[in-house]
Amino acid sequence: MRGLNVDTPVSLWVQEGTPFVEGLALILGPLGLVGDYRYGTLWLTSAAGFDEGDTTGVGQIKPTPGSALAHVWNRPISVEFVETPLPQALGYVSSQVEGKLVIDTTRLPNYLVRAPVTMRFRNQPVQHQLGMMLHGLQCRCRLEDGTLVIEEQPRTPPKPTH
């Protein structure tokens, strides 16, 4: 994380039985950080990053029960990409679930079509891998008639400071 010294010493004494999330909040708070659970992992982020939430839209996708997507959405697969263009990386993910993951990248601008993906996951659910991949490229996903439509995240103007 930018601006965070990972060598910052931390001391914490809590009462026995304190829930993990409370202890984590006590450690992160003075550092200006919060913890969040996204894409099957624990994220440490700023309060602003926490407020943004899942900007990829993957967390909001709820496959129709019994659909092809529902059968593969939580299926663990392994992938490894090094500088692989996004459409090819997504195509490979789909091939790992017998093509049951239908993905449309035709709405992406050229710079994102060429955007390189570098990541390695072992036995992680498809949805978490998709979220991590799209987060890194600032892309968004939505479900449209059984197809995952990948597009550029909308740009939001900066908030005025008064």
> Which pLDDT value is given to residue 53?
73
CA–CA dist 116, 52 (Å, integer): 24
pLDDT of residue 60: 92
Q: How far apart are CA 29 and CA 35, in angstroms?
A: 9
pLDDT tens for each residue of the chain, 162 residues long? 455 677 878 788 888 888 888 888 888 888 888 887 888 888 887 777 676 778 899 999 999 999 999 999 999 999 999 999 999 999 999 999 998 899 999 999 999 999 999 999 999 999 999 999 999 899 999 999 999 999 998 876 555 555
Residues of the chain with CATH 3.55.50.30: 58-152
pTM of this structure: 0.77
Dist CA 85 CA 91 (whole Å) = 10
CA distance 82 to 1: 22
Domain at 58-152, CATH from 3.90.1720.10, 2.30.30.30, 3.40.50.360, 3.55.50.30:
3.55.50.30
Cβ-based neighbour number of residue 31 at 10 Å: 15
